[in-house]
Amino acid sequence: MSDMKRLLFGLAIVVISSFCLPASAFAQGTAFTYQGRLNDGGAPAGGSYDLQFTIYDSTNSPGTIVAGPITNSATAVSNGLFTVTLDFGGVFNGAARYLDIGVRTNGSASTFTILSPRQLLTPTPYAIFATSASNLSGTLPASQLMGTLPASAFAGYTNTVALTNAGNLFSGSFNGNFGGAFNGSFSGNGGSVTNLSVTNLIGVLADNQLPANTAFVNSNQTFSGVNTFTNFGNSFRGSFFGNGLVGWIPTNGTAIQAVIDTGYLLTNSQLVTVTLPASPSAGDIVRISGAGAGGWRVSQNAGQSIIGNFSSFIKSPWTPSGASPLNWRAIASSADGSQLVAVASSTGGGIFTSIDSGLTWSGPFGGLSSANWYAVASSADGSKLPAAVNGGDIYTNSGTSWTAAFGAANWVALASSADGTKLIAAAAGLGVYVSSNSGASWTQVVGGANWISVASSADGTKMIAAISGGGIYGNSSGSWLLLSGSTPASGTWASVASSADGSKLVAVATGGGIYTSGNSGGSWLLQTGGLPASAAWSSVASSADGSKLAAVVSGGGIYTSSNFGVTWVQQTNAPTRSWNAIASSADGTRLAAAINNSTTGGIYVSEASPLTTTTVGTTGYLIGGQGSAVELQYIGNNQFMPVSFAGNLWGY
C-alpha cells in the first residue's frame, strides 16, 4: 500500500439524527453513510480492503481523537468506489469534526496507511434546517403546537396554577396545598396533600397518617402526657405500666437494671441479679417473680436499704442442743427441720433422734453403743432413718428399732430420697450401692475406690458419689460416669450435697475449697466470695432449691450462703470446734451441726432469725428462690419496702 494515494473524491452522504433536531422528530439515530473513491497505484482500486475511521477535532496532526477508531474489515471496493455505514454516537454537537481514514489490504498484517488530508464532515440540507430550528428563541404561539406533550415536559413546574372552572377534572396523584383556590372535582390518591380540613375527610385513616401521640386501635403507642380515665366502665387488657399498676416483662438475662413501675418474670436457670432504680420517687414499684431454678437477688445502690421481716443467716444464733459431747460422725434432718437423727462412734455412741429441732435427744438406739457408727440419712418426714457402721452393717429402722439390712463393709456415707425408698451408700475400698426398696436389697453401681460421700435428689433418680482423692461420679445421664471437671484443684473431697431436683450440687474439699455446679455436675465452679483460700472442710448441706448452703470446717467455723454459693458469710456467733457434719431443713431456715469430740463436742442448732432491714448500701441485698416473688415499693429516705411477697425472703 506504499503507493496508495489519498482518495481523489470523497462524497459523504450524512444522516445524523443528533444534528440539532429533536430525537423524536424523525426517530433518527447517530449512524451515517460515507461514500468514497480509492486509488491504488494511480488507478481505481478494486478488491477487498480493511478501512479504519477516526473522528478528530482538527485537520492538523496529531489533534485530539473525539471518537473511534472504527474498523470496517473486508470492505468491497469496485472501480475505486466504496460505501460504509459509520456510527460514532452523539459526538456531533455543532463543533467541527474531521474524519481520518486508514487503509490496508484485507488479510494483511501490516499497519494501516493513513490517507491525508483528514476529511471535514459537513451537514446535509435537512440538518441545516434542524440547526435553524434549534436556535428558536422567543414565544412559540400555541396555535403551532400539535399533538400531546409528554409528562416530562411538565417536570419541575413550580409556578402557581389557578383552576377556577367548576368543570375541571383531575385524575391521578396530587401533591400540593389544598389551601389555595380550587374549583372542580378531584380523582386520585391525594398523596402529600397538606392543609386539608378534617371536616372534609370521609372513611378511616391509617395509623401512619395520624400524629404520634394518638390512640391507635391495634398498635403499640407511647403517650408523653398525662392521660385521665374517669369512666368506671374503662377496660384494659394486657400489660399496663404506670403508678400503682405494674406490667410484667419476661426476661432470661442474669443481670437486670430495674426500671420503676415494672415487673420482671425471671426465667433464667442461673441466679439473676436485679439492681434497684438509682433515683426512684415515692410510690414507685418494682416487682420480681422467680420462675427460674436459679432464684434471684435484689442488689441495692449506695445509701439504699430494704425494710421488712426477712430470714437471715447473718444474725442466726448458734446454740448447743441437748445432745451430749460425743464423737459425732453424721447428722440428718427431716424436710421441716423438726426431726433430727445423728450417729456417734466409740463408747457411748449409737443412733440418737430429736423431734423438737434438737432441743432434746433420745438414744442411743441400734444396740451397738461402742460401734463405729459413721453415716445416717433421713426421709423427708423423718420416719425412715437408715444408718451405717464403718466396719459393720447398714441398719434400717422400724420406729425406734434398728436391724441389720446389709453386709459388713467400711461404710462411710448414706443418702435417701424424700420418701425413703431409694437409698445410696458408699463403702471405702468396696464401691457404691443403691437400694430401691428402703434398704431391703442392694445393688452395686460403681466399683471400689476411696469413696467418702454421697448425695441424692428428692426423687432418688439423680445421685452422686465422691472419691476422697479423686473425682465425683453421677448418674444423671442414666449410667454412672465421672463428672467433668470434678477433681478439686487442691485437697481431697470430704462431702457433697444436692438440691431436691439434683440440678444444683455442692462439694467441699479438705485442704481445698468449695465447688458448685448448676447443671447436675456438667461443670464446676470454685467459689471464693467470703471464703478462706484453704480450709479443712468436713461437711456441706443444701436447701431443697440449692440456694441456701452451709459448710463446716474441722477445727474452724461455720459458713453459710444464700445465693447458691456465690458469696459466703462466716457465722461469728458459732464457736470454733472440730465440726464434722451439718444438716439443713428443706427451706434452709433450720441448721444443725455436730462436733467430733467426746469432751468438748455436742450438736449445735440454728434457726433463721428475722431481719428487719438489709445492710445499707451496695453490700446489702435481698434473696429469693425459685417460686418466690416480691413487690417492692419505694417509700422515700432511700428505703424500699415489700408490700407483698410469696415464698421465703432472705435479707443481708
pLDDT, the chain, mean: 84
Supply the pLDDT for residue 91: 82
- Burial state string for 164-186 with b = 16 or more CB within 10 A and e = fewer than 16: eeeeeeeeeebeeeeeeebeeee
Q: Rounded to the nearest 10 degrees, how much is the dihedral formed by the CA atoms of 532, 533, 534, 537? A: 40
Q: How many CB atoms lie within 10 A of CB 126?
A: 15
Task: For residues 123-129, give the mean pLDDT.
Answer: 58
For residue 619, the Cα-to-chain-centroid distance in whole angstroms is: 28
Q: How far apart are the first and last CA of the chain?
A: 108
Assign domain 319-607 to its CATH architecture. 7 Propeller (2.130)
Q: Please tell me the predicted confidence (pLDDT) of residue 236.
A: 60
- The yes-or-no verdict on residue 380 having pLDDT over 90 is yes
What tens digit of pLDDT does each residue of 246-301 get? 678 999 999 999 999 899 999 998 889 999 999 999 999 999 999 987 789 999 99
Higher pLDDT, 191 or 24: 191
Question: Does 138 have pLDDT greater than 80?
Answer: no
> CA-CA distance, 82 to 76, in Å (whole number)?
6
Of 77-81, 334-338, 515-519, 578-582, the one with minimum mean pLDDT is: 77-81
Q: Is the pLDDT of residue 126 over 70?
A: no
CA 398, 403, 407, 412 torsion-angle sign: positive
Please enumerate in sequence order all residues whose Cβ is within 8 A of that of 277, keeping only pairs 6 or more positions apart, or say none: 257, 258, 259, 260, 284, 286, 634
Cβ–Cβ under 8 Å, residues 498 and 455: yes
Which percentage of the chain shows pLDDT scores above 70? 79
Higher-scoring residue by pLDDT: 366, 345: 345
Residue by residue, DSSP assigns 520-584 as TTSS-EEE-BT--SSEEEEEEEE-TTS--EEEEEEEE-EEEESSTTSB-EE-TTSPPEEEEEEEE
Residues 6+ apart with CB under 8 A from 426: 411, 412, 413, 432, 433, 451, 452, 453, 454, 465
Q: What's the pLDDT score for residue 523?
A: 94
The whole-number pLDDT of residue 264 equals 95
* Distance in angstroms (rounded) separating the CA atoms of residues 46 and 76: 8
Better-scored residue on pLDDT, 133 or 210: 210
Alpha-carbon distances, residue 441 vs 383, 424, 456, 480, 504 (angstroms) = 19, 11, 18, 19, 29
- Three-class SS state of 143: helix
Q: Would you state the pLDDT for residue 594?
A: 97
Residue 561 grid coordinates: 450462703
CATH code assigned to 4-133:
2.60.40
What residues contact 175, with CB distance under 8 A and at least 6 apart? 191, 192, 193
Q: Quick: pLDDT tens for 465-480.
A: 999 999 999 998 889 9
Could you give the CA distance from residue 457 to residue 479 in angstroms, rounded to a whole number? 15
DSSP for 440-479 reads SS-EEEE--S-EEEEEE-TTSS-EEEEETTS-EEE-TTSS
The model's pLDDT over 287-342, given as tens digits with 9 standing for 90+, comes to 999 998 778 999 999 999 999 988 776 556 899 999 999 999 999 999 999 999 99
Contact 327, 346 (CB under 8 A): yes
Burial 337-374 (b: 16+ CB within 10 A, else e): bbbbbbbbbeeebbbbbbeebbeebebbbbebbebbbb
User: 312 by DSSP, 3-state: which?
Assistant: strand
> 168-177, 410-419, 579-588: which range is least confident on average?
168-177
Among 43-57, 116-130, 372-386, 436-450, the minimum mean pLDDT is found in 116-130
| CB atoms near residue 508 (< 10 Å) | 28
Higher pLDDT, 229 or 83: 83
Q: Taking a C-beta distance cutoff of 8 angstroms, is the pair 522, 484 a contact?
A: yes
The pTM for the full model equals: 0.61
**Grid cell of 421 as nine digits:** 425408698
What is the predicted pLDDT for the residue at 240?
59
pLDDT tens for 493-514 read: 999 999 999 999 999 999 999 9
Copy the grid coordinates of residue 514.
Answer: 468449695
Place of cell 457411748: 348
More confident residue, 62 or 125: 62
pLDDT of amino acid 61: 76
Looking at residue 574, what is its pLDDT?
A: 92
Name the percent of the chain lying above pLDDT 90: 50
Enter the C-alpha cell of residue 205. 385513616
- Top pLDDT among 234 and 2 is at 234
Angle at 457 between CA 451 and CA 458, to 5 degrees: 135
Specify the pLDDT at position 9.
Answer: 36
Is the predicted pLDDT of residue 14 greater than 70, yes or no? no
* CATH T-level topology, domain 247-309+617-651: Jelly Rolls (2.60.120)
User: Who has greater pLDDT, 427 or 64?
Assistant: 427
Q: What is the pLDDT, as a whole number, of residue 77?
A: 87
Per-domain residue ranges for the chain? Answer: 4-133, 247-309+617-651, 319-607
pLDDT at 572 (0 to 100): 87
**Bridging pattern class, strands 169-171 and 185-187:** parallel
CA–CA distance, 344 with 349 (Å, rounded to integer): 5
pLDDT exceeds cutoff 50 at 22: no
- Predicted confidence at residue 1, as pLDDT, reads 42
Q: Give the model's pLDDT for residue 609.
A: 77
